[in-house]
Amino acid sequence: MADLPRLAVLFAPRGSATLRDLLRACDAVAEPVIVLPPDCPTALVRMAERLFPLVVSWPDGSPPEFQADAVVTFHDAQLERAAALAEALGTPRPEAAALADKLHQRRVLRAAGLSRIDALAVESPNDLDRAVSLFGYPCVLKPRRGSGGERVTILRGPADHPKDAGLHGLLAEQFIPDARHPGGGWLADYVSVETASTAEGKHHVLATFGKLPVSSDPGGGIRTTGDVLPHGLSAECAARVRDHVLDCLDALGLRQSLSHTEVKLSADAPEVIEVNCRLGGHLSRLTSRRNGTDLVRLAVLAALGEDLDDLARRPPDRSDALDPKDPLHRSDPLDPSDPRDPSGGPAVAGVFVPFGAPGVVRSEVSAAAVRQLPGVCSVDELARPGDDRRSTGGAAANVVLQAPDLARLQPVLAGFLTGLSELFAADGLGESPWVRHLADRLECRHAR
């Protein structure tokens, strides 16, 4: 058997691929070298060393020296290190690194006439004041690079401005006006589009995900809470979103990469929130369940320089399950149902149910009990009693739900929220603003 190409994977916790995902994704296609960051928990280092023959630690400083044929990462914070490592190893530089700066992205898209949103760099309180005077409230403050969706704040007034120490490497931009998801108020007014871009710059849409409403912290911080397949958009709206995303990827010049683009469904036309040049987090588990598509494996193959056009034509299997019946270019193989009825087909949702406030977990809840709740087919994370709520990203539970279709997912989600609120009663989960808001939208009684 020929030697497999060696792929350096810059791994970090809470990225869009776990060690398990990587083990499966590299099976028979690559020999992974797991490169760990300086602050990696020691237990995770031990696990990586048990799973993979080649594990390298990279503390700050010069890149480690070893041989590899390609480099990939699944974490925003590792994009620039991935580029540095590629340069040191002499492998093709991941395209993603050049596009990791969200301010640069916004300027390119605006110059191309693809965005109406203005943005400014923020490195000081004066910068922030200037941005607010230009954009007014509300406006958005977020890191320019490497945040993995964290530390995004909607500023609705002076009280939401962060302290001086937090103003570095940020951008402020105009707020994209809220809209309403055509599929109903229980879905958020934005979607994400996962794409695979070939070396020649041809883009394939892999999936479009609906989203659950974001949760808001008292200080204006926002958190994502869930992803839904199918997306629930009309065929016309879905086509507008996809065309807009592909035009944006063309303008950014994305090549040989997967990407995760968030798009606001504003009233006039779709508006890109941001393009993340790596796989979206917690999404491969949904595509795998719905039609067998392993997005992590696709990302591995893309990093190795595989022909992504060709991948689209291979028959589905455990890992490369792109439906060969659907033309892939500018279509969504994960919506195999009639495009006139985009709500058809089985529905899956990844849900992160947020606690209403920081603190210590009080409830003692077993994964087995959560598995018994309506629609739950997997419990991927669960807050444990005595733990800081931040240890699970502020979520009581991170689960996968499924239902025969999108319409029937709604009562399943409502039942799940009610049941989970009862299990986490000691933490007041049912009284959290996000749970009450979504329960209202799902037209059920407030979870108590």
Binding region for another protein (CB under 8 A): 18-20, 23-24, 27, 41, 43-44, 46-48, 50-51, 366-368, 370-371, 377-382, 384
State the nearest-atom distance from the C-beta of 387 to another protein, in Å.
12
CA-to-CA separations, 26 to 3, 270, 296, 299, 302, in angstroms, rounded: 13, 36, 9, 10, 12
57/67 with CB nearer another protein = 57
Q: Which is nearer to another protein, 52 or 190 (CB)?
A: 52
Q: How far is the CB of 379 from another protein (least distance, A)?
A: 5
Nearer to another protein, 4 or 407 (CB): 4
* Smallest distance from another protein to CB 21, Å: 10
Query: Do 168 and 124 contact (CB within 8 A), yes or no?
Result: no
Alpha helix positions (H), 136-221: none
Q: How far is 145 from 407, CA to CA, in rounded Å?
A: 37
Q: Hey, what are 77's tokens?
A: 């914070």
CB of 382 to another protein, least distance (A): 4
Which lies closer to another protein via its Cβ, residue 113 or residue 386? 386
Minimum CB distance to another protein smaller for 196 or for 379 = 379
* Cβ at position 294, least distance to another protein in Å: 13
Residue pointed to by tokens 């086509």: 239
Nearest-angstrom CA–CA distance, 149 and 155: 16
Q: Could you tell me the smallest distance in angstroms from the CB atom of residue 44 to another protein?
A: 6
User: Do the Cβ atoms of 195 and 245 come closer than 8 Å?
Assistant: yes
Number of residues written out for the chain: 448
Give, in degrees to the nearest 5, the angle at Cα 266 between 262 and 272: 30
CB count in 10 Å sphere of residue 83:
20
Residue number with CB closer to another protein (23 or 54):
23
Distances (CA, A) of 439 to 184, 323, 422: 13, 35, 14
Nearer to another protein, 377 or 426 (CB): 377
For 18, residues 6+ apart whose C-beta sits below 8 A from its C-beta are none
Beta bridge partners of 404: none
The enclosing H or E element of 275 equals: strand 271-276
> What minimum distance in Å lies between the beta carbon of 383 and another protein?
10
